[in-house]
A and B are shown apart, each in its own frame.
Chain A
Amino acid sequence: MWCIIESKSRDQFQEELVIRPLHSGDIYASFQFRTLWDTDFLQERQKVSHYRLFPKSLGQVLSKFSVRELHISFTQGFWRTMQWGQPFIPSPPGAELWVWFHDTVSDVDGNWKELTNVLSGIFCASLNFIDLTNTVQPSASFKPLGLGNATDHRFLRYATLPREIVCTENLTPWKKLLPCGSKAGLSVLLKSEKLFHSSFHSQAVHIRPVCQDEQCTSKAWELRQTLNVVFDLYTSGQGKKEWSLFKMFSRTLTEACPLATSSKVYVDITDNPELFELSPATPLLSQAVVLGDRRTYSVFDLTRAEMFGQLRSLNLLLRDMLRPLLHAERYVAGFGLQTGEIHTVIYNNHPYRAFPVLLMDSVPWYLQLYIHTLTVTSKSRDNKPSYIHYQPAKDRHRPHLLEMLIQLPPHSMTEVTVQFERALLKWTEYTPDPNHGFYVGSSVVSALVPSMVAMNTNFTQDQPLFSSFVPVKEESSYFVRVYTEPLLVNLPTPDFSMPYNVICLTCTVVAVGYGSFYNLLTRTFQVDEPSLPLAKRLANLIRRIRGVPLLA
């Protein structure tokens, strides 16, 4: 007992909830839980067996598979960028997993395969469906977010499962990773019956190595668990634009997690603060620059005892929102079951700045891309990408990977199109519901978007979590990742309900047609002697015995 306290463990736990009323009248609630594990991950040979706040199940996975960085997200629903603006941490519909391995790993594919299976067990998800046919190694789009400057994308693996359905069975193991579980602190709000009665639900786990302090004298593992929910006030509020923690989560906060060093609730009051009537009022205001926008937040510090007994209900009114500077969408064009065209449309809404974006597309092999038809047009003119990385698919082995660096002109719409042909699958390769269609994962647009206000590049300990996930390197821009919607594409599908009829028909055709033709082709024809009258035959018999020529 003493030694645990005296071991000068600098493990930390912080929790945070940001509530942001959205333009559309919906409420965006974003939870972040950050656990720091003070251990030297670079000496991976050293066996680490002491866990305090960091979940043991994940720690063991990290050391066993030599993981350098791990990002996994489960999302149900689609983030509506045009209505809701940018999320703090973006994620595509379904499940997404990307992992950087240590450069000492020799069999990356083997580790990846095992890792997905283990994670599948930990999160009760179908991550075991990740295999080489849907895994890619992006060359530029997914750089490590933590310490270290790994550039060799051979150690990166990226996969999405757009079909993955997220529900309570994924939430429970996720909550178990928290030091306080769902017993105390902000996590008491995470009740599944309310979280899944929403317009959008996304939960994620990000593990990466970070600096322990500003000078980066020591390093630590950081585990960030994030959960983003958008509540639809229209359906739940009976038209009233009014909300409270209790209405959203059917719980109120009673205490901070005792293990947490900080536990805060932020409410975004940037626009028209006079229209808000926030109860209880808080004297604490905080400014944060996030996603290129300076915003003001009311802060409720749960570690201070006087907050409780009051924080029950928060009321507010509607306000306007900044138009998102970067926005992307995607659809399939054309009709029929032979060919089609994938259109990806990227909007740059910045009034005067052009900026480059990285577009990453991973398309399953059964859509055979015609890469020569790839066109990129902005403002109805050809826009030549400055960097293209294309890895063609191999049937049944790996998907297409297309990465491009495209310059987006200011205030423009850029359209990327590529034609494809739908492959005819083998009959065992169809899913049990082939007529539902086949999913193509979201494409990813990553960009450094020019910021309207100066970004904060200083690293401070008491920065709110929601503004510190992606390290800011320069003042003039910030990093944004936008996911497009996944696609549902119909492939030519045989009528599986009549294999019997088909077998019967084919067999009949083969038997009747082929049989008789084969018979005709292989038979040797002989001129048939017309049968002679009986008398002649008798005469011939006698002649044969006598050895005289026979009668005709």
Chain B
Amino acid sequence: MGLLSDPNRRKALTNLLTRLNAPICMVCYLAAIVWFMGLAFEPFTLRTYMSENAMGSTMVEERFSSGERALSLAKEFDAHKRKAGGMPVEWLVKAMQARGLEVFTQSFSRKLPFPDENKERYMVRGTNVYGILRAPRAPRTEALVITAPCSPGNSDNQAVGLLLALAQYFRNQIFWAKDIIFLVNEHDLIGMQAWLEGYHHTNITGMEYSPLQGRAGSIQAALSLELSSDVITSLDLILEGLNGQLPNLDLANLFYAFCQKLGVLCTIQGKLQRNDWDTAEGYTHAAQTMMLMVLKQACGRSWGDHGLFLRYHIEAASIRGINGFRHYKMDVATIGRLLEGMVRKLNNLLERLHQSYFFYLLPSLSRFVSIGYYMPAFGLLAVILLLRALDLWVNLGAPALEAVDGVTEAEQPSGPGVLTVLTPVVISHLTGVALYLLPVHLQEMAVEHFPVSETEAVVLTAVAIYTAGLALPHNTQRLLSGEGTEQGWKVLKLTALLYLAVLLGCTALINFSLGFVLAVTLVPITASMTPHMPKALSALAMVLLSPAFTILYCVFIYQELIEAPVSVGEGWMLFLSVISQGILDHALYGSLVYPLLALFIYPCWLMFWNILFWS
């Protein structure tokens, strides 16, 4: 570390860094992309393995055989659901009581901030029904949860049927060490949110619910079932939860281990595993699976009913039955055996799942990329911002050195005023606050004045405010008394670069995918932005690489990856619905992606937009 103390060597280093700044940045960016794409290449990834001793060594024998009963229960449930026009509370309570469970119900209601057009709901009122299987000679300190949704229409009946059949089978076993809660939740995530908030007696989203009467101690793990047909060809595992949280990797390993044991086809992101990693197709397949995971994680929403458990430090995953047109078919009894095995192994747990990774990407179910492998990809991008900041810092310092020599002593500018830098920063953030607050609060006014629905009003207001923010530089200039100086924009850019680096760094630590996706689009344009570039061209580039367009690209890529490509028009509609869903997720479940984008990322981008129009 003589570098810091030896002025000569320090000067040499800074010279090197400023002279080679642009090439180094280019190399870093390319290396980041290559590194990231390399993560999906099988020889670079690790094979998954069970870390938890309590689940590894104990083999269990699965004996669940009442598949037929599960199906008949599903039919019965369906009939009662249709009759009741929603959750058949009475029937379900009786059915659970007959199976020897302690049964409780919870009613809840929630008024959405604006109508959800995807799921067609606004005023939501429902009831959750849950039964607790008390473990013999256990002091009610630990519990496992199995959930199935009560969905409208024909879907998920089999999940409820299987849930009840499992309850009946489990009740007759003596080996339970943890209480098991069987929960049927209405209105998918809203019901789940109400139940979880009730169980933990919190209220973070303004939900109205009746307090829970029965509890079973601290929940150790949860499994959510989604089955909509009598025969299943494969099971899909869904891990991505709220805010990109993931359950412990051991839960995925457990699922994979039992799929292997019972010979069940299992997928992740709906993609089967391939063995030909050395061919181009094999690699593309793995890369697509990983990209899907990155996109799903980046959008920060809960992709199954399990997603809300993760906030409470409960490891949870959804298991979805897929009925594809493959030859290979399996019945409900096999899925029951799979769940029995998983629950029994979770029952053996002595501690919470904590041995394995919490931060990972999965290019396939049997391979994983741990945080140590994927973080360098982000690090390389973040380094670009720091290098540019260093370059600017050196540049800003250089005239000051000359001043010491006494050459420019006469007109010594005392640096750009705090006001010059502070004004754009404050105004950008005020725009961000407007983008965060106004869409939901102004919907009534918008509906009055324009012929649009509430949902459209919210989304279009958001888009309008976003676009209006682009006119900001001119207004900022008017507010500023003096002329923008050369030093002024440099200081502003230095601030903005460091700000962006910190923002992206923090985001990537919590939700790598979101941080990485934002960094890939924001870093190149922000790193190279100066007021001296051709205005029109660079403005176009900046807009095309702004956060909103990032979302748009993600929508198209996602559709491409799930093999359902869309036209531009459909893509635009999807984009609008993604925005409304993002705002709803924030209001209903406390997802943080919308506030992050509105309050921090967008204002930060606006600061660079200001620099472009600096005069």
Q: Judge whether A94 and B172 touch: CB under 8 Å.
A: no
Q: Judge whether A435 and B137 touch: CB under 8 Å.
A: no
Query: Closest A-chain residue to B202, C-beta based?
Result: A334
Contact of B352 among A83, A196, A436, A516 (CB under 8 A): A436
A519 to B4, CA, bound (A): 10
B173: chain A residues at CB < 8 Å are 235
B355: chain A residues at CB < 8 Å are 497
Known contacts A235-B174, A486-B141, A487-B141; A77 and B136 CB within 8 A of each other: yes
Q: Judge whether B1 and A516 touch: CB under 8 Å.
A: yes
Contact of B134 among A80, A93, A94 (CB under 8 A): A80
The smallest C-beta distance from A432 to any residue of chain B, in angstroms, reads: 10
Give a binary string over B130-161; 1 marks a CB under 8 Å from any A CB, 0 the rest: 00001011111110000000000000000000
Q: Judge whether A341 and B215 touch: CB under 8 Å.
A: no
Contact of A343 among B138, B172, B201, B354 (CB under 8 A): B201
A487 to B139, CA, bound (A): 9
Q: Judge whether B202 and A487 touch: CB under 8 Å.
A: no
The smallest C-beta distance from A518 to any residue of chain B, in angstroms, reads: 10
A435: chain B residues at CB < 8 Å are 351-352, 354
Selected interface stretch from A137-145, A208-216, A325-333: A325-333
Q: Judge whether B202 and A490 touch: CB under 8 Å.
A: no
Per the 8 Å Cβ criterion, residues 305-351 of B in contact with A are: 311-313, 350-351
A436 to B141, CA, bound (A): 11
B142: chain A residues at CB < 8 Å are 488
A381 proximal to B (CB < 8 A): no
Q: Judge whether B201 and A83 touch: CB under 8 Å.
A: no
The smallest C-beta distance from B418 to any residue of chain A, in angstroms, reads: 29
Residue with the highest number of chain A CB atoms closer than 10 Å, among B102, B172, B201, B350: B201
Which bracket fits the contact residues of A?
Answer: 35 or more
Q: Judge whether B351 and A436 touch: CB under 8 Å.
A: yes
A493: chain B residues at CB < 8 Å are 354
Per the 8 Å Cβ criterion, residues 484-504 of A in contact with B are: 485-490, 493, 495, 497
Number of B interface residues in the complex (CB < 8 A): 31
Per the 8 Å Cβ criterion, residues 375-403 of B in contact with A are: none
Q: Judge whether B137 and A519 touch: CB under 8 Å.
A: no
The smallest C-beta distance from B247 to any residue of chain A, in angstroms, reads: 15
Q: Judge whether A335 and B215 touch: CB under 8 Å.
A: no
Give a binary string over A436-447; 1 marks a CB under 8 Å from any B CB, 0 the rest: 110100000000
B141: chain A residues at CB < 8 Å are 162, 437, 439, 485-488
Contact of B139 among A83, A93, A197, A334 (CB under 8 A): A93
A435 to B137, CA, bound (A): 22
Per the 8 Å Cβ criterion, residues 386-438 of B in contact with A are: none
A490 to B218, CA, bound (A): 9
A77 to B136, CA, bound (A): 7
The smallest C-beta distance from B104 to any residue of chain A, in angstroms, reads: 11
Residue with the highest number of chain B CB atoms closer than 10 Å, among A78, A497, A519: A78
The smallest C-beta distance from A241 to any residue of chain B, in angstroms, reads: 12
Contact of B136 among A198, A332, A523 (CB under 8 A): A198
Known contacts A335-B312, A487-B217; A520 and B4 CB within 8 A of each other: yes
Q: Judge whether B137 and A201 touch: CB under 8 Å.
A: yes
A32 to B299, CA, bound (A): 63
A94 to B141, CA, bound (A): 12
The smallest C-beta distance from B520 to any residue of chain A, in angstroms, reads: 28
A200 proximal to B (CB < 8 A): yes
B80 proximal to A (CB < 8 A): no
Q: Judge whether B5 and A162 touch: CB under 8 Å.
A: no
B200 proximal to A (CB < 8 A): yes
A308 to B202, CA, bound (A): 60
Known contacts A433-B350, A436-B350, A436-B351; A199 and B5 CB within 8 A of each other: no
Give a binary string over A92-105; 1 marks a CB under 8 Å from any B CB, 0 the rest: 01100000000000
A512 proximal to B (CB < 8 A): yes
The smallest C-beta distance from B87 to any residue of chain A, in angstroms, reads: 24
Per the 8 Å Cβ criterion, residues 1-55 of B in contact with A are: 1, 4-5
Per the 8 Å Cβ criterion, residues 103-152 of B in contact with A are: 134, 136-142
A93: chain B residues at CB < 8 Å are 139-140
B100: chain A residues at CB < 8 Å are 234
A332 to B141, CA, bound (A): 11
Q: Judge whether A83 and B5 touch: CB under 8 Å.
A: no
The smallest C-beta distance from B444 to any residue of chain A, in angstroms, reads: 33
Per the 8 Å Cβ criterion, residues 190-205 of B in contact with A are: 200-202
A439: chain B residues at CB < 8 Å are 141
A78 to B4, CA, bound (A): 65
Q: Judge whether A341 and B171 touch: CB under 8 Å.
A: no
The smallest C-beta distance from B249 to any residue of chain A, in angstroms, reads: 14
The smallest C-beta distance from B307 to any residue of chain A, in angstroms, reads: 14
The smallest C-beta distance from A171 to any residue of chain B, in angstroms, reads: 13
The smallest C-beta distance from A360 to any residue of chain B, in angstroms, reads: 18
Give a binary string over A67-96; 1 marks a CB under 8 Å from any B CB, 0 the rest: 000000000111010010000000001100
Contact of B200 among A234, A335, A485, A516 (CB under 8 A): A335
Q: Judge whether B140 and A78 touch: CB under 8 Å.
A: yes
Contact of B215 among A76, A197, A331, A489 (CB under 8 A): A331
B136: chain A residues at CB < 8 Å are 77, 198-200, 232, 235
Per the 8 Å Cβ criterion, residues 148-188 of B in contact with A are: 171-174
Q: Judge whether A234 and B172 touch: CB under 8 Å.
A: yes
A200: chain B residues at CB < 8 Å are 136-137
A471: chain B residues at CB < 8 Å are none
Q: Judge whether A196 and B137 touch: CB under 8 Å.
A: yes
A235 to B175, CA, bound (A): 11
Contact of B201 among A333, A437, A489 (CB under 8 A): A333
A179 to B102, CA, bound (A): 41
Query: Closest A-chain residue to B218, C-beta based?
Result: A488
Contact of B171 among A78, A196, A235, A331 (CB under 8 A): A235
A162: chain B residues at CB < 8 Å are 139, 141
Query: Closest A-chain residue to B174, C-beta based?
Result: A235
Q: Judge whether A341 and B201 touch: CB under 8 Å.
A: yes
Q: Judge whether B1 and A512 touch: CB under 8 Å.
A: yes
B354: chain A residues at CB < 8 Å are 435, 493, 495
The smallest C-beta distance from B590 to any residue of chain A, in angstroms, reads: 11
A80: chain B residues at CB < 8 Å are 134
Q: Judge whether B350 and A78 touch: CB under 8 Å.
A: no
B215: chain A residues at CB < 8 Å are 329, 331
Known contacts A198-B137, A515-B1, A520-B4; A335 and B311 CB within 8 A of each other: yes
A486 to B312, CA, bound (A): 20
B139: chain A residues at CB < 8 Å are 77-78, 93-94, 162, 485-486
Besides A335-B202, A335-B311, A488-B217, 12 other A-B contacts (C-beta < 8 A): A80-B134, A162-B141, A235-B174, A331-B215, A335-B313, A437-B218, A486-B139, A486-B140, A487-B217, A490-B352, A493-B354, A516-B5
18 contacts across the A-B interface (CB closer than 8 A)? A77-B138, A77-B139, A78-B134, A78-B140, A196-B137, A199-B134, A232-B136, A234-B100, A235-B136, A331-B217, A334-B201, A334-B202, A335-B200, A335-B311, A485-B140, A486-B140, A486-B141, A523-B5
The 6 A-B residue pairs whose C-beta atoms are closest, nearest first, are A93-B139, A333-B201, A516-B1, A435-B351, A77-B137, A488-B141
Binding site for A on B (CB under 8 A): 1, 4-5, 100, 102, 134, 136-142, 171-174, 200-202, 215, 217-218, 311-313, 350-352, 354-355
